[in-house]
Every structure is written in structure tokens, then in C-alpha cells.
Chains A and B, each alone.
Chain A
Amino acid sequence: MSTITRIAREEWRLWLRSRVVVAAALIVAVLIAATSMLTAGRIADEQSQRTQQQIAAEQTFFAQPDRHPHRMVHYGHYAFRPPPPLAVFEPGVDAVTGQSIFLEGHRQNTAMFADTKAAADLGGFAALTPASLYQLLLPLLLIVLGHAMFLRERESGTLAVMLAQGQSGTKLALGKAAALLAVIAIFMVPLVFVAVYSISLGESALAAGSMVAGYFVYLCIWGAIVLAASILLKQRSVSLGALIFVWLFAALIVPRFAINASSAAIDAPGKIESDLVMLAEQRKLGDGHNAADPAFMQLQAEVLEQYEVETIEELPINWRGVVASYSEAELTDLLNSYAEERMGLEASQSRIFGLFGLASPTIAISSASRTLAGTDLATHHRFLRESEALRFGFVQALNEKHATELDYAADINRNADAEASRRARVNASAWQVLDEFRFEPDGADARLERALLSFVILLAWLTAAGGIVYGAARRVRL
């Protein structure tokens, strides 16, 4: 057995014989195991439910009877975002952004059904996720285990005896580092299990492996910080206090400050504020339900000229359907421009927040974690864009049916009597225009590419912390 391994083994012997350490480690282990199982079960349920709900929504849409096509535009449809497999470890922004959208004509609704109800049902316990435990709790455990690794030897005089046996400070530090590394390796086991489970749910091995590697690097950073404090500081209480402060700073203070700073740097109005501002511009576009709205006079002239007729009654197509289609396209352009602007601002805020990883490895790992899991803001934005494309697609397809399959005269007289109403319907087979929607996260390559900056920041942290440990270990004195 090498000297480094022997030093690590003896550190473990001390920990295993300390009730406090064993109790702390057990509490963390149980918490991780319980949280992983609860989260995995919950996410697996949600994944199954949302997929089923998506299918059910489509079947319900298809099963609608013969109707006026514009009634189907307002009947609407749902788009669901099932949690990706790695959400069993990192639910990410899922709980706050909402997971489904009601799609209907003339509107871009906000995503809804965030998970707060589920969290409340479990007395808030669901708010604890495996990812948050790895990001916040495990560094604390490393602090408890390692804050006195060197100081204990120095204070008890055993450091002198160890060095007097011919060992260098570097070897002692490597031995202590190996002991912490073994702790980290053991606590990686639950994450490895979760990663394997996510692969069984369809996740790519590259993304799952990168997640494991990212957290390993993150915990190694904390291990190095803890070891450096233990070597450089002179008293156990000072070391513990300093490390707790660093933990508070990195895990709680900087992230909160980063949120405020990114919000202050880029003022992004919420959806409701955007909608209010947008209303004025929306009115200028005209009311798509009123084909006689002056806003459509230009369109009317162009269409009449195109079909070489004098009146809308002479048109071979339904003028009201043409107006609905034109109005929807104009409105969607406006809605999209606001949505893109808002998402751009949110993405910029997210980038600024990510740069705070330079001040806190916890931010770097949380950014990388959400991105790799496909539960980040960028994935949510893609869901919004894809669900909007779905909405626009089926609304315009229905408007097309309105324009081409429904007689204008029957349409304008649809409220005359029951028979008139029946004549202003199209066959239910027309509802097949709805595309099947199955939201998938980006491929592993794309997610890894997005997480690259966070990984670079994490590696920079590890290099810096490791360098400090090495430099301090070379100068170990009694």
C-alpha cells in the first residue's frame, strides 16, 4: 500500500470512529437516497402523465364533431413538456416555468401548471432535489469532514511526528486529498445510479456521463478548498468558520446577488407587462373576427384584384377565412416579436447569471446541471417556440379550411337558424390538420456545447483550488 493510500486509510479510520462524522454522513446519505427516490418517482410519473395528456389532447381534438372551423380555432389544443430523463436528478426551471400551454387562436398563452401544488402536498419536501443536495449539502459535509484534516495533526503534534518519519507535506496533503476523494467517490454512487436510470429512460450516455463528471469536478473543487483552508489556517475554529462563510458566500449569497444583478443589468418585463404594452399595437392590426374592419381594406383590394372580381361575394374563396388567416399571421408576427424580445432578454440575464460562476462554483455547476438535464431556460424557450409553431400551424390550417371549404354566404348567415348553422360547418376530418407534438430536449451534443462555458469555469476553479493546495502543502510547517 502506498504512503498516500495509507494516510487516506487512516483518515477514514478516524472518521469511522467518530460518531459525529458517521452520523453526519449517514444523514446526508439517507437524505440523498430518499430525495433521489422521491424525485425519480415523481418525475417518472410526470413524464408518463404528460405524454398521456398530450396524446389525450390530440385525440380529443380529432374527436370533435363537424363544426365551424373558427370554433375549433378557439376550442384550442394543449402542448405538454414532459420532463426529460435527467430531470429525475435536476428538475431545473420546470417547477417555476410551467409545463403545458393552452394553444388557441389570436393568443400566446403563458405556460401553466408549475409544480408548486405538488411541493405543497409534500410539505415542501419536493423542493429538495438531488441536484440541490449535491450543490449545497455535500460541500457542507466535506467541510465537516475536512476542515481540520491538517489542523488536527498540527494541534495534536502528530504533524511533527508524521513529518519526522520522513514524509513531505505534499505527500501528506495528497493522502488527505485521497481520503476526501474517496468520500466524494462514494457520494457519487447515488448520482451514478440516477444517471444509469435516466439512460434507461432514454437519456444519452454522453449527457448522463457529463452530469456525473460535472458534479465530480464540483465536489473536488470543494474538497480542494476545504483542504487548502485546513493547511493554511492556524486554528480549527477559524478554519470551520472561514469555510462556512465561503459556503454561505458561494452557495447562497452569490447566487442571490447574481439573480438581482442580472435582473438589474437587463430589465426584462414579464409576460403580463409585455401583453399590456402589446395590446395597443394589436388594436392597430384590426379585429380578425370582423371582416369589415377598415384595417383589412388594403387586403380586400389586393384579393379582389388577384381574383379579378368586384365584390367579396364573387370570390371563389371565403373572405372571412382570408381575413382570419391574414389577421392571424399579422398578429403572430407581432406576438412573436415581443416573445422573442422577452426571451432574448431572459437569455441575456441567464448568461450574466452564468458568468457569476467565476465567483461561485455552485452557480457554474447549477448552470451546467440544468443545461445537461435539458431543464434550463433555453430548453423552455425552445418549448415555447415549438408550441407556438404548433399553434400557428393548426390555426392557419383551420383558417385555410375556413377560406376554402366553407361557403361565404353560408358563413355570414350561420346564425339565421339551425339549418344555417349546420351548413356553416366543415367535416370533422378537417381536424386532422393538427400536427402530432412530442417535445424532446436538445441532443446531448447541443446541450454539452451550451454547458461548455460552465465546465470551463468549473475546471478553472479546480485548477486554482488545486494549485493553492499544492503550493500550501509544499510549505507545510509546524
Chain B
Amino acid sequence: MTQPILSLRNINKSFGPVHVLRGVDFDVYPGEVTALVGDNGAGKSTLIKCIAGIYTAESGDYHFEGNKVQVHGPRDATALGIEIVYQDLALCDNLDIVHNMFLGRENKRGVTLDEAAMELMARKTLDSLSVRTVKSIRQTVSSLSGGQRQTVAIARAVLWNNKVVVLDEPTAALGVSQTEQVLHLVRRLADSGIGVVLISHNLNDVFQVADNIAALYLGQMAAQVRKSDVTTNQVIELITTGKSADITPVGAK
């Protein structure tokens, strides 16, 4: 098996007396989709925010591409090439797709914006993800459907040559066909060599695209397993009780 691109070891994080993450190990592999599942309050969001640098873990190691690194803020994580696509997507409705993809990192020629170069790059990125659903990349985001918005947010994460992309419940608000589109996009993202983390409550989605599954239970990593080694029922057991018979964690291989 390949080296994990991102690897967390023995992460602890508490808020006051509440011990939210207890010795969590978590690995993300390049070119694979790692699903992060767990019940509400299991610590998924906290773990993601530790990866993003929004929270700093009290103890534990953060390895990136095999090196031990210190992540003290969102900028550190961004500099490593980690991008989080939050559930609210953080898009500006009044701007068009190109503007949104380059927001805060505009290409400039002198003082003026280099619109042509930005549009070309945006188009190339969308093509590389085989996105065919958007008619014009010069339409405002307010005119896009939920799935298209998700696509734009994901494409923005890809545009900057990120190595790890974390998607926070990308299909939660979508209908059936749009969910399908986004899941295909997630798969292509991983196939292009990026390490993808997919947070989801929907085990159908997880089993459709994930390569391995990490289940959090009450702040502890119940298990991180290959998808091929488990059944849906076993994952449900992991989510609800924290253990399941006959599960061999990835680390034990």
C-alpha cells in the first residue's frame, strides 16, 4: 500500500472539560477517497478543523507527505495544499463562476485583472473534471443549482493544485441526480491523484465512491478500514457502537 499523504497520530482535543477527540489516528491516501463517518457529535467536524488548522490539537502528530509538520492556522494548512470545502460552500452569489474560483487569488496584469487568463484556467479545470453541467462559466453563481454550486466549490479547490481536498457533506442538500453528479466528480478528483476526504451521513454515497472508511465513535477512531473488507451493516455497527466483530483495521495489515 502507498504511503499516506496526510497522517494524524494520537490526536487529542478538548473544549474545557469536554474531551472531543481522544487519541485519534487518521490517514488519507493520495488517489483515494477516504470517507469519514460517525454519528452527530462523534467529532468529525472537530477533526476536520484540526486538519484545516482552525483548531490546534493539544497533543498528537501531524504528518504530511511523510514529514512531521506543525499546523497552527488555516494558512499553514493552505500552504501545505489542503483545501476544505465547507457545507455552506462560501461562494459569492453575485459573482460569476470564474470570479468565485479565483476569489482572493486573482490573476493580475499590472493593476488590472487578467480576465482572459483566469477564464481559460477555470475552463481547463472544469474540463479536467469533465464538468459538462454548467452552460457558461460567466453566469453568476445565484443562477446555479445546488449541485452546480458544489461543483464550482470543488473545482475551486482543485484549481490551486491542492493535494488534499476535504469535502464536508457535499451531497447533504442535493437531489438524486445531482448527488450522482457530485459523487462522480468526487471519484474523478481522487482518480487525478488527489487525496479526498469525504464526510457523509449517507452510507450509500460512502459505499459508492469511498476506497476506505474511517468511523469515529464518541471522539475515538473506531476503525479505519478498506471498503472492500466491510459490509454496510458492519459500518453501521461501528458508527453506533464503536466496534464490530471481524473488523481488521487498516493499520493492522
A binds B: no
